[in-house]
Amino acid sequence: MINKDLSVEFLGVHFENPFLLSSSPVDNCYEMCANAFDAGWGGVVFKTIGPKDFKVDEVSPRFDELTKESTPFVGFKNMEQIAEHPLEENLADLRKLKKNYPNKIVVASIMGTNEKDWEELARLVTEANADMIEMNLSCPQMTSHEMGSDVGTNPELVKKYCAAVKRGSDLPMMAKMTPNITDMVPAAKASLSGGADGIATINTVKSISNVDLNKKVPLPIVNGKSSISGLSGKIVKPIALRFIQQLRSAAGLELLPISGIGGIETWQDAVEFILLGSTTLQVTTSVMQYGYRIVEDMKNGLMHYMEEQNVDHLSDLVGLATKNTVPAEELDRDYKVYPVIDWDKCIGCGRCYISCLDGAHQAITWDDEKRLPTVNIDRCVGCQLCNLVCPVGAISTGEKVMKPGREGNPDKKEVESCRLTHF
């Protein structure tokens, strides 16, 4: 049995492993957090605590899912707001968690409507023995424009509220960024200027996931109406990775401490976030599908990956992929790679032929009698769409050639199959 040290240091705090519950319905009270700790999670970001006089009044129903063909669950729409429990109850839960689980990390997520709120909440969660503070500047379904993602898109407010939190507490603090913005860098830099020690990103993406075709109402339906709210799950992972990459590649942010969030469901997802610059990893939607025990799969897979890569410390993996992501204009455009078909695997379904004919460059011919495709290299541009649509993996990357008039040795071009495979 492989046993690797998964501990990490993040903002000066020691985590036994990088996996945390993100601030969400999955850690809404003491009992839920305790169950997660018992299951092996390294920390929790307790569901966002609001001011004493802010009343949460939820809708019902408030969830929807996004599916594709036979895949049951690629996205999850959530209309839930911050913690509905009274402030005193939430603070009591924080104290109880630290008392009963002193070696686990309790992060207090807070959200105010003004500087006074933020400062007071920071003071209160510090007195409740939280290890760290996360400022929720990004929830997309708040009923007040003074809270959530409307704040997170305003660098001036971000800086002001971060400064207020630092006045109220000396705990390490991370600002949770909204993805509902074109460029996250200005808001992230504003948070650091205000005193934030690191960044948590991303929160959910504003969305309408589905529309009931008969009732003509988006889902979920609440007394005949619906609203735009946050999308999470596997579908937002590419968006999360994009923002993390842009943050860590921005001038002055190359070593930015990041707690990565957004579609982490497997150990492979976890590794991708780490390689692009995340030190800790926050999870919600995967827990809503599989329960707290999913952390065991993620920890086990991460340890096997470390063993395969001859890595003893997770910190040695953080950000290794950042340097390999470059602006589009810097990509090598001097060569192309043809697809190759494995006739022993091909089942003659015709998916590659139809996709290339109707969606690419008409570079695959079809033998009706033998039910076999053939690549016409005179027309093929090497886009590899056929590779991706093949249902049985019968197509892979083949011969590499230089484009006419270009110099270089194509054999030295590093190319991987478009189909991502993990050992």
- The pLDDT tens digits for 187-224 are 999 999 999 999 999 998 989 999 999 999 998 889 99
Q: Is 380 a catalytic residue?
A: no
Cα 292 to the chain's mean position, in Å? 18
Question: Taking the C-alpha atoms of 298, 302, 303 and 309 in order, what is their torsion angle to the nearest 10 degrees?
Answer: 160
DSSP classification of residue 322: G
| Among 135-139, 239-243, 271-275, the least confident range | 135-139
**Residues 359 and 388 sit within 8 Å (Cβ to Cβ):** no
From 33, 139, 162, 380, the catalytic residue: 139
Rounded CA gap, 113 and 102, in Å? 31
Q: Report which of 149, 157, 192 is spatially closest to residue 172, judged by C-alpha positions.
A: 192
- pLDDT of 60 reads 57
Give percent of the chain with pLDDT exceeding 70. Answer: 92
Per-residue model confidence as pLDDT tens digits over 285-344: 899 889 999 999 999 999 999 999 999 999 999 999 999 999 989 999 999 999 999 999
2 confidence band (pLDDT: 50, 70, 90)? confident
* 64 φ/ψ sector (left φ>0, alpha ψ -120 to 50, else beta): beta
Domain 332-412 of CATH type 3.40.1710.10: no
Other CB atoms within 10 A of residue 126 CB: 18
Between CA 56 and CA 64, with CA 59 as vertex, the angle to 5 degrees is 125
**Residues 119 and 29 sit within 8 Å (Cβ to Cβ):** no
* 139 φ/ψ sector (left φ>0, alpha ψ -120 to 50, else beta): beta
Give me 80's structure tokens.
Answer: 């839930």
Strands 105-110 and 71-78: unpaired
Identify the CATH number of the domain defined by range 8-324: 3.20.20.70
Strand ranges across the sheet with 71-78: 63-68, 71-78, 229-232, 205-207
- pLDDT of 64 reads 64
Between CA 318 and CA 48, with CA 40 as vertex, the angle to 5 degrees is 75
Give me 73's structure tokens.
Answer: 């669950």
Give percent of the chain with pLDDT exceeding 90. Answer: 75
**Residues 59 and 321 sit within 8 Å (Cβ to Cβ):** no
- pLDDT of 325 reads 93
pLDDT at 70 over 90: no
**Residue with tokens 């929790």, as numbered in its chain:** 44
Question: Taking the C-alpha atoms of 17, 23, 25 and 29 in order, what is their torsion angle to the nearest 10 degrees?
Answer: 80
**Residue with tokens 């009706």, as numbered in its chain:** 368
Same fold, 8-324 and 332-412: no
Domain spans in the chain, listed from the N-terminal domain onward = 8-324, 332-412
Mean of the pLDDT values across residues 35-51?
A: 94
What rounded mean pLDDT belongs to the chain?
91
Choice between 138 and 275, residue whose per-residue pLDDT is larger: 275
- pLDDT of 276 reads 98
- pLDDT of 5 reads 94
Could you write out the three-class secondary structure of 127-141? HCCCCEEEEECCCCC
Q: Which amino acid is at 310?
A: N
